[in-house]
Chains A and B, each alone.
Chain A
Amino acid sequence: MKALLRQPEIVATALVVLLILVVLPLTLDPFRLNLVSKYMAFAFVAIGVVLTWGYGGILSLGQGIFFGMGGYMMAMFLKLEASAPELPDFMVWSSVEKLPLWWEPFHSLTLTILLILVLPAALAYVFSYAIFKKRVGGVYFAIVTLSLALTATVLIVGQQGDTGGANGITDFRTLLGMDIIGDDAKGVLYFVQAFAVCVVMVVALAMLRTRFGKILIAIRDREDRVRFSGYNTATIKAFVFTVAALFSAIGGAFYSLQVGIIAPSTVGVVASIEMVIYAAVGGRLSVPGAVVGALLIGFLKSYLSETFPEGWLFFLGALFILVVVAMPSGLAGLFERLALSRRAPRATG
């Protein structure tokens, strides 16, 4: 136990768990707490970015696709429930007369959850394996994912009758008949989501501690050499990309539940790049750092846009530049240095 406490990463994780499960719920009013759950949805994505980019060296600028898949699937279920027995309102406005076939599975919550857990992951595996098999990596992979994110938004916006178009899908009230708009319901949802974040953090940390985690680092630093250690690096990379996609989809599903709307702007290029920035600010080698990064930037976005409605984006931009230039390991790097420097005198004394 003492040995564990001596590792900054473990200490940081424990502090983040404490923060989201105890401190924030005790100190924030229901409105602010609901905002936190919105930011926290992106923490799932950021943890995935730490695994793929920080450890595996795979930079994806299209994580919004998987976040969006999770979000849209959850929204489709909620929307069908909200508008039953009629068609969803946006379909009526676009004079769609019959529910599209691919909406049918989303009448069932079980099926919806299953699809959220399987579909984005399966797509991520097939897509990334095909690319990694061809030895496309680095910047080229980032560009491919970026254009995919762009394609996804264009597709969603273009199919207004089926997807709600640029407005997205919104106006949900209940989940299996239970209210999801009231403060109590949102409070309960907050804890479910916070608990899920903790589970995902632990899973990610556990993965990194196995031999798989070491291989990821080896691939990041010398992929060609890893092949001569006997590994098919394409499968290893595709797998970690798949795990990140799964995390993103879970985050997306919580986003729809908590925020009550999912729209193409949450899925597209800008959103996808922001997801990488969360991880960069938190520290791209730190799992708890990713959570802090997502929460902090989410909070700053709200706070700055309330306080400086004109120029808030400049503050945010300045912050990103500062972090990238001055703290390459992000906030986690800062934390680690503090933790280590406080221990040093004790060790000598």
Chain B
Amino acid sequence: MSAVFEVGGMANPDSGAHGASDAAAAGEPILRVENLTVSFDGFRAVDGLSLVIDHNELRVIIGPNGAGKTTLLDMICGKTRPSSGRVVFNGRDLTRMPEHEIVRAGVGRKFQTPSVYEDLTVLENFEISIPNGQGVWGSLFFRRDRGVMQRIADIAEQVFLLDLLGQKAGRLSHGQKQWLEIGMLLIQSPQLMLLDEPVAGMSPREREQTADLLNRISRGKSVIVIEHDMDFVKRIARKVTVLHQGRVLSEGTVAQVQDDRRVIDVYLGH
């Protein structure tokens, strides 16, 4: 299902029909954020920010509180509308699309506080996240067939929740809710996942498991992670972007960023 692997490598004889795969073949990145700005009551939370994410890239975004990290993700997924600038995903401009269409285009979002449906079971949380039949009739006549159950079991196993499928999501631990929400994204098979602080509230052991999980996931899709925990960042990151006051302060490998004087001054050095 998550066969969005290596879009450029799918040597399609009659290619040229799809703009998106064309763009990928031409080395077009999966996400281009161009000169993005948003202000709340005159305060520029994100200020002329540009960013490029490649296919199958795992990018970590760090920065002090109020740097605009969450706001950036909010604008990519349509929760907040930018005052100016563009978000181009696979050649499509997302800035005017309603949230559910951005999701269907292939962008998944995990929120900072785990947002799962607490009154539903883990199984039902996964079930309603499956991306087909999301209209009224599709939902009414959705059948929980063997394919669906298999897919849910696969994802549940990946996020360590296979034994808890019958449990109400509200009774999961904080860390398990984080996993559930990651799993709900995975079952949408997005091409780009936006994860806001995925290991907040997790035990050291859970953090290790999550790092492995993210490393596995990012082999098949692009992932943007916001995280504060530098040990965790080192585990997963190849490339890090540091935001400060709504702008990109520094970008590079973990080592490069840690040696950057400006980054030490505003964020890491305290």
Q: Judge if B54 is at the interface, Cβ distance under 8 Å.
A: no
Q: Judge if A7 is at the interface, Cβ distance under 8 Å.
A: no
How many Å from the CB of B124 to the closest CB on chain A?
A: 5
CA distance in complex: A211, B140 (Å): 6
Q: Please give, as numbers and ranges, the residues of chain B lying within 8 Å of A233 by CB-CB distance.
A: 100
CA distance in complex: A282, B173 (Å): 34
Which one, B103, B108, B131, B133, contacts A227 given CB within 8 A? B103
Contact present for B128 and A214 (CB under 8 Å)? yes
Contact present for A217 and B119 (CB under 8 Å)? yes
Known contacts being A225-B111, A229-B128, A230-B104, is A235 close to B135, with CB within 8 Å? yes
Q: Count the B residues whose beta carbon is within 8 Å of the partner chain — how many?
A: 32
Contact present for A232 and B98 (CB under 8 Å)? yes
Q: Contact flags (1/0) for A207-235 with B, using CB distance below 8 Å?
A: 10011101101100110111111111101
Q: Judge if B229 is at the interface, Cβ distance under 8 Å.
A: no
Contact present for A229 and B142 (CB under 8 Å)? no
Contact present for B140 and A218 (CB under 8 Å)? no
CA distance in complex: A214, B100 (Å): 18
How many Å from the CB of A26 to the closest CB on chain B?
A: 37
Q: How big is the A interface, by class? A: 20 to 34
Q: Please give, as numbers and ranges, the residues of chain A lying within 8 Å of B144 by CB-CB distance.
A: 211
How many Å from the CB of B81 to the closest CB on chain A?
A: 13
How many Å from the CB of B155 to the closest CB on chain A?
A: 14
Q: Contact flags (1/0) for B112-149 with A, using CB distance below 8 Å?
A: 00011111100010011101011110011110100000
Q: Please give, as numbers and ranges, the residues of chain B lying within 8 Å of A236 by CB-CB distance.
A: 136, 139
Known contacts being A228-B99, A228-B109, is A221 close to B139, with CB within 8 Å? no
Contact present for A218 and B128 (CB under 8 Å)? yes
Contact present for B99 and A211 (CB under 8 Å)? no
Contact present for A227 and B140 (CB under 8 Å)? no
Contact present for B188 and A218 (CB under 8 Å)? no
Which one, B77, B100, B141, contacts A231 given CB within 8 A? B100
Q: Please give, as numbers and ranges, the residues of chain B lying within 8 Å of A299 by CB-CB distance.
A: none
- B115 and chain A: residue at smallest CB distance: A225
Contact present for B128 and A215 (CB under 8 Å)? yes
Q: Please give, as numbers and ranges, the residues of chain B lying within 8 Å of A214 by CB-CB distance.
A: 117, 120, 124, 127-128
Q: Please give, as numbers and ranges, the residues of chain B lying within 8 Å of A231 by CB-CB distance.
A: 100, 134
Contact present for B124 and A221 (CB under 8 Å)? no
Q: Judge if A191 is at the interface, Cβ distance under 8 Å.
A: no
Q: Judge if B184 is at the interface, Cβ distance under 8 Å.
A: yes
Most buried by B among A217, A226, A229, A231: A229
Q: Please give, as numbers and ranges, the residues of chain A lying within 8 Å of B133 by CB-CB distance.
A: 211
Q: Please give, as numbers and ranges, the residues of chain A lying within 8 Å of B115 by CB-CB distance.
A: 222, 225
CA distance in complex: A124, B30 (Å): 42
CA distance in complex: A218, B119 (Å): 8
Which one, A207, A212, A230, contacts B100 given CB within 8 A? A230
How many Å from the CB of A132 to the closest CB on chain B?
A: 13
Q: Please give, as numbers and ranges, the residues of chain B lying within 8 Å of A229 by CB-CB distance.
A: 103, 128-129, 184, 188
- A216 and chain B: residue at smallest CB distance: B139
How many Å from the CB of B168 to the closest CB on chain A?
A: 11
- B190 and chain A: residue at smallest CB distance: A230
Contact present for A210 and B136 (CB under 8 Å)? no
Interface residues of A in 132-147 (CB under 8 A from B): none
Q: Judge if A239 is at the interface, Cβ distance under 8 Å.
A: yes
CA distance in complex: A335, B141 (Å): 31
CA distance in complex: A115, B128 (Å): 35
CA distance in complex: A180, B124 (Å): 48
Which one, B77, B118, B129, B139, contacts A212 given CB within 8 A? B139
Contact present for B99 and A210 (CB under 8 Å)? no
Most buried by A among B104, B133, B140, B184: B140
How many Å from the CB of A122 to the closest CB on chain B?
A: 15
How many Å from the CB of B89 to the closest CB on chain A?
A: 15
Contact present for A210 and B120 (CB under 8 Å)? no
How many Å from the CB of A214 to the closest CB on chain B?
A: 5
CA distance in complex: A329, B120 (Å): 18
Which one, A221, A225, A226, contacts B119 given CB within 8 A? A221
CA distance in complex: A228, B109 (Å): 7
- B194 and chain A: residue at smallest CB distance: A228
Known contacts being A210-B142, A218-B128, A228-B103, is A239 close to B120, with CB within 8 Å? no
Q: Please give, as numbers and ranges, the residues of chain A lying within 8 Å of B120 by CB-CB distance.
A: 214, 217-218
Interface residues of B in 90-116 (CB under 8 A from A): 98-100, 103-104, 108-109, 111, 115-116
CA distance in complex: A217, B120 (Å): 8
Contact present for B141 and A210 (CB under 8 Å)? yes
How many Å from the CB of A204 to the closest CB on chain B?
A: 12
Q: Contact flags (1/0) for B76-95 with A, using CB distance below 8 Å?
A: 01010000000000000000
CA distance in complex: A233, B127 (Å): 16
Contact present for B99 and A227 (CB under 8 Å)? yes
CA distance in complex: A239, B137 (Å): 10
CA distance in complex: A107, B84 (Å): 60
Known contacts being A214-B128, A215-B128, A232-B98, is A225 close to B139, with CB within 8 Å? no
Contact present for A211 and B103 (CB under 8 Å)? no
8 A-B pairs with the lowest CB-CB distances in the bound complex, closest first: A211-B142, A212-B139, A230-B103, A227-B99, A218-B117, A225-B115, A239-B136, A212-B140
Given A214-B128, A225-B117; 16 other pairs, CB 8 A cutoff:
A210-B139, A211-B127, A211-B140, A214-B120, A218-B128, A222-B117, A225-B115, A225-B116, A227-B98, A227-B103, A228-B100, A228-B103, A228-B109, A230-B100, A232-B100, A232-B134
8 CB-based A-B contacts, threshold 8 Å = A211-B127, A217-B117, A228-B99, A228-B109, A230-B100, A231-B134, A232-B135, A235-B136
Binding site for B on A (CB under 8 A): 207, 210-212, 214-215, 217-218, 221-222, 224-233, 235-236, 239
